Structure 1
């Protein structure tokens, strides 16, 4: 039992990675489609590359989206609207007519003309209300059929037979003239003005109900294919009816309800593929980025980002697949490049795109486009902390999306008339969403304790609280740190290392000297040397302690681990040689171990650069009457000594890069020590 517990503690990092791997794989498989995957790639306008394809089962031919939209538009255009006919209003109007005649006309007139006037009013009302009077025009064509509903019955009439209210006056004027009643025109018009009321109203609810019923009755299929029927022959061009049948077969195949046995096999297949993809990523990290592999937080961060992209894509595809490009997938390589490096960012991006190929429609087109966009992201984005660079890169990414989509459309359709302008808007929205990477990086820094170049830019500000304190307590050390920072930045740029990280590490590498500043020569302003009263061993302990105290101060001020690494390693396991030799004069048998820095030795190019620059800058103060030869020999001697002591074994730095760093340091020192030509007085 004890052995098991001991093994568990020894291998807990490995157990955690296994647990993380399994959880991520399970969640991704859960998000994947639950149906089968059609095994053929359908490419419009291209020859069928596979063997003759026969229908594996009976299935219906689905109508295309364009056909369904056209059919819906036709139904909407041909839909007959319903109007309600109010019989009670007609009866009321006809009942009021005799009273209005008696009220408007004088008795003397009615004696001879009452019958004529009454007959005219009655016949006119019958004509007006035969199909009804409409209060307001609906813009319907006059020759269009409409339904007029009387009670529980409805009958078709021509819309032009219904009287709109604004057409009644011209009609009355015309009929009065035709009946030779112009002498009574004002009175007759007044009668009709008083009694006529609209009795036809548009029945919106019934019309919409009828329209919905017709739309719901639309058939999404046209014909069917029997099992065993040949669908497409090898070499046959995939277009027209063949393309529609193949797409119908694909949708039917992927939407089938599988038996428990088949479903389990499909689940197993998905699990194997997802696990294989994640395993490749994990092996890549283990082989090429061992420092990341050994850090469980960083591995968790990478897996979390992949899972997030799969989740967002699944949500969008389930909502509406045509908006899949709104998901800013290029955030993944951007984020990983900001925290780690380009190769890891691109590798993780490719793995994620391969997984998403199971989710999205037109998987080949999607994967090609996203991989190209990811490569462009990695190649174009540099110095993410500069806001202009991000906007430029987002513009380039959006342009690549549009360009690749244009190319695929031209290949598939053979023209540019079928370009979907909505897709361009989708790409632009996806590009704008990519700008969210900056606040996202800030959130990740707080959650996962990582550091990006944007944070390094903030830390490089010499007006920060900690650097101001260093300049006040140890001004000589502060000036030394600035000089080392300039040297380290130049050297890092020369070999393609992270110049910002090297600069920030150099600025903070000696903050431990704030505790006892006068024990370091650069801060001594008088001839009094604090070490004169101490033994060589005590002096060495104070010198060595500035590394430990620097780490403590850095942690107290919440400096990132990437910066603290520079404090730990800037002296590696070298010896405090001056005090060791003084002690050796007193005791020849003294061991050098007690005069060595605790280490560790540098484990990155940037920390190795700092060790070289720190040693060269500090020792350069001892140069008297420097010349080009002296400076060259001086730099060679110091760095060669560090190499002889195996200080760069873990730094993944090459001899060629070390030679380039030497070259830069020599140039910089020559500039620092350059003497003016003396002119005669």
Structure 2
């Protein structure tokens, strides 16, 4: 609740501070509700007057350059004569059907009606000769004049009025109908030269300067606002966008609803181990782009370059992809609300955030940041292009501009994420995958020291890390974190390595000379020593937590039993680790992996891990590993009965998956081997090639 109230309060304060409620709102043609005067004397170029002068010069008809086509007249005249000759042929064929003859005549002249074709067939030879001659004359007369493309229709309409009055009215109509289709423009506008002439005329117009005196009335109360008056008002910055208090309260209400939905979502899905710093991180990555967007998104040239997706990408690295995707959508809605309820901004921000977060989630290489930036660029450019297409404002130049804006957005988002994720991770105590990969390198000072000073513990940590990594993966945890945390879980043993059996090799056990309480205390202290070394090395807090929790409050049974057998009064609490118990799935699985590996290794060293088959004699019989599963089951059951897993969120079903994973891996590590037979060498002979080439499987 406090998180939501703080987030909403900051957003409302920023909105209030930038709200322009007293702005003057005027449009061209609107009646002014007050008299406005120039605040100072100024001379400036009037774009309105200059544009009007240039448009006037551009539209001057004297700029039109015509080009005559001399081939039009002879070509069209020949085409008409060819059509008339074809009609002569049809008229002379007396044996054909009337309908067929009509269709043939109509096919020779475009646009000729069936009635006109019938009339042509019905004409006498003398009348047809007059119609034919008049049609040729009409076309020749029309083509003697200049005809532009826009004048063709008018010339065709005038053909009937130009026909000879010595012909009968039907003859005049037929002559006009025959000649009309062959009227064609014989002059054309030279587009290139005309355009050049128009542009030259427009460019020749000098800018028109306007001088306004201080106190001069720009627009009077009750007068309509002209374009020139609007230009002066804009020059003196007397106009600004309209923002009323009603709109302010509406925007605040939308912010309230959205913030309430965000708080409800975080309450329902946020992990139980989230602390205040996680909420502060989420609030910060929301506030920064929203506050900056309030100032930036008002500029059309910058809105597609604004890298809001960087906030979601940062959360994807530091927390989780699901949280990042939702927060990306929330940021988009916030930006859409404060930028004038822009659906476009909200959509583009959400799509870009999801694209970038999906690629960069659990990034394990710096190259991933480059790919994530590419995903943001592609998502932004594609979304903006589709919006431009929907609005009908898309051309090649606009497309190229949007793609460049998207590329800038992606580059900024990737750069900001790369430069900030490490800083935010350290400030808020969150370990990133890149940081984990760096910590897993054997050249890390603590790991290098562990491998040199406590090699048995180092080997044990390697085996346990394989167990924990695989088991955490099957239950949906963070396998990389589990692997790295295990590498450091026993780091405290480097201070007194010889007190731990895996480092004693063939040396005497130093605990034989110590009393049980002292031995137990030394064993317990490897946890506190490890925490101290980890903090000195500035390891991430989650790894330090695993060091503290990997033994929980388990009982050091070996020395506890020794103390009991000695007959002393023994407090069980003296022989238990200080804890706390594991608090996360990863820590719980690491505890089980640590205990299981130690128990199985001890059984293997004692020769109790394998059983001989019924016919086994130790050399050729079948060997079974049923003991391994029994040991794993025993260790897990003991930890459950002792309540060591009560405070982590492992379910019984997940524990069963963990058990199966442990058995599968340990069977591969401790698989039985057959003994290699000794080869008998015969005096004076060498080993047979077959003998030397054959090896028993390992």
Same fold (TM over 0.5): yes
- CA shift digits 1:413-432 (9 cap, x unpaired): 39877954311111111111
Q: How does 1:655-674 map to 2 (within 5 A)?
A: 655-674=652-671
Q: Which residue of 2 aligns with 1:210?
A: 209
**CA offsets per residue over residues 209-262 of structure 1, 9 Å max, x none?**
63999xxxx99xxx999xxxxxxxxxxxxxxxxxxxxxxxxxxx993364xxxx
1:424-573 equivalence runs, <5 A: 424-436=403-415, 437-573=417-553
Aligned counterpart for 1:277 among listed residues 246, 252, 258: 258
What's the secondary structure of 2:579's corresponding residue? coil
Structure 2 residue matching 1:479: 3-state secondary structure: helix
**C-alpha separation in 1, matches of 2:6 and 2:421:** 22
Q: 1:365 matched to which residue of 2?
A: 344
Aligned to 2:155: none
- Aligned-partner Cα distance in 1 for 2:551–2:384: 54
Q: 1:612 to 1:317 in 2, by over 3 A?
A: same
TM-score relative to the length of structure 2? 0.62
Whether the aligned pair in 2 keeps the contact of 1:569 and 1:599 (CA below 8 Å) is yes
Q: CA deviation at 1:61?
A: 7.5
Matched ranges for 1:381-400 at <5 A: 381-400=360-379
Aligned residue runs from structure 1 range 88-127, under 5 A: none
CA 76–342 in structure 1, closer or farther in 2 if over 3 Å, else same: same
The equivalent position to 2:355 in structure 1, one of 359, 369, 376, is 376
Residue 577 to residue 424, structure 1, CA distance change in 2 (3 Å): same
TM-align CA RMSD? 4.0
Change (3 A) 1:391 1:146: closer
Whether the aligned pair in 2 keeps the contact of 1:24 and 1:303 (CA below 8 Å) is: no
Give the direction of change, closer, same or farther, for the CA distance of 1:517–1:325 in structure 2 (3 Å limit): same
Deviations 1:167-194 (A, max 9, x none): xxxxxxxxxxxxxxxxxxxxxxxxxxxx
| Residues 425 and 562 of structure 1: CA distance in aligned 2, closer, same or farther (over 3 Å) | same
CA distance in 2, matches of 1:372, 1:559: 36
Q: Which has the larger radius of gyration?
A: 2
Separation in 2, partners of 1:404, 1:358: 19
Structure-2 residue corresponding to 1:307: 287
> How far is 1:449 from its partner?
4.3
Post-superposition Cα deviations, 1:458-494, rounded to whole Å, max 9, x if no partner, equal 1111111111122222221122112222222222333
Deviations 1:73-132 (A, max 9, x none): 67557689xxxxxxxxxxxxxxxxxxxxxxxxxxxxxxxxxxxxxxxxxxxxxxxxxxxx
For residues 584-643 of structure 1, what are the alpha-carbon distances to aligned partners after superposition, in whole Å with 9 as ceiling and x for unaligned?
223486332222222222222221221121111222211234443222222222122222
Match of 2:104 in 1: none
Once the 2 structures are TM-superposed, how far is the Cα of residue 22 of structure 1 from its aligned partner?
Answer: 6.2
Cα gap change, 1:640 to 1:433, in 2 (>3 Å)? same
How do residues 87-236 of structure 1 correspond to structure 2 at under 5 angstroms?
207-208=206-207, 210=209
Structure 1 residue 676 displacement after superposition: 3.8
1:415–1:540 distance in 2 versus 1, CA, 3 Å: same
Aligned 8 A contact 1:35 1:254 in 2: no
The counterpart of 1:328, out of the listed 299, 307, 312, is: 307
> 1:441 Cα shift?
0.9
Deviations 1:531-555 (A, max 9, x none): 1122222211111111111111111
Distance 1:442 1:273, change over 3 A: same
> Corresponding residue for 2:556?
576
Cα separation, partners in 2 of 1:601 and 1:273, compared to 1, 3 Å: farther
Aligned to 2:70: none
Aligned-pair distance for 1:495?
Answer: 2.8
Specify the alignment match of 1:648 in structure 2. 645
Residue 298 of structure 1 pairs with residue 297 of structure 2: no
Output the TM-score relative to the length of structure 1.
Answer: 0.63
Check whether the contact 2:375–2:410 (CA below 8 A) recurs between aligned residues.
Answer: no
Residue pairs, 1:599-614, within 5 angstroms = 599-614=579-594
Aligned length: 486
Aligned residue in 2 for 1:256: 242
Give the SS at the match of 1:321. coil
How many Å separate the matches in 2 of 1:635 and 1:342? 35
How far, CA to CA, are the matches of 2:389 and 2:424 in structure 1? 41
- Separation in 2, partners of 1:292, 1:69: 63
What CA deviation, in whole Å up to 9, does each residue of 1:507-542 have, x standing for no partner?
Answer: 111111122211111111234112112222221111
**Structure 1 pair 31–339 and aligned structure 2 pair: CA distance change class (3 A):** farther
Work out which of the residue numbers 269, 277, 282 in structure 2 matches 1:288. 269
CA–CA separation in structure 2 for the residues paired with 1:672 and 1:310: 54
Change (3 A) 1:224 1:456: farther
**Partners in 2 of 1:71 and 1:671 — Cα distance?**
88
Secondary structure, in 3 states, of the residue corresponding to 1:393? helix
Gaps of 5+ in 2: 31-45, 59-195, 213-217, 226-238, 611-623, 680-698
The CA distance in 2 between the partners of 1:74 and 1:406, in whole Å, is: 33
